[in-house]
Amino acid sequence: MDMVAIGQQRMLQLHELEEIRNEAYESSRIYKEKTKAFHDKHILRKSFVEGPFTVTKVFPHGVVEVVSPSTEKSFKVNGQRLKPYYESMEKEQAAVIHLIDLVNVDE
């Protein structure tokens, strides 16, 4: 056996393995870029508007029927997705209570 020839053969195999590995990394990077571009292209921008809905009926298993006051359309949603609506209070409606006044009341 020629040790020099075997060493050169082994180095050639290691270089080929390194090239295959680099090609795999490059292929993976290109795939990820294309997948991200496809995903980003199909994202729909949602616009949210403030508006309360009126609950008209509660069905078994958490289904709730709600009505939109502006369009008068009713639809069913999962009850876990509903959140309570609190109307904003005007500054004139809000009561101001000073903590100093509360301390003097106890005496």
For 63, the domain range is: 50-107
Please tell me whether residues 31 and 67 are part of one structural domain. Answer: no
DSSP annotation of 94:
S
Question: Is residue 86 a contact partner of residue 93, using CB atoms and an 8 Å limit?
Answer: no
Count of domains in the chain? 2
Amino acid 28: pLDDT: 97
- Whole-angstrom Cα distance, residue 32 to residue 68? 42
90: left (phi over 0), alpha (psi -120 to 50) or beta: beta
The two tokens of residue 27 are 């292929």
- Whole-angstrom Cα distance, residue 27 to residue 36? 14
Reported as a single tens digit per residue, the pLDDT across 21-66 is: 999 999 999 999 999 999 999 888 866 566 788 889 999 888 999 9
pTM of the model: 0.41
- Of the three residues 11, 27, 47, the one that is the final residue of a domain is 47
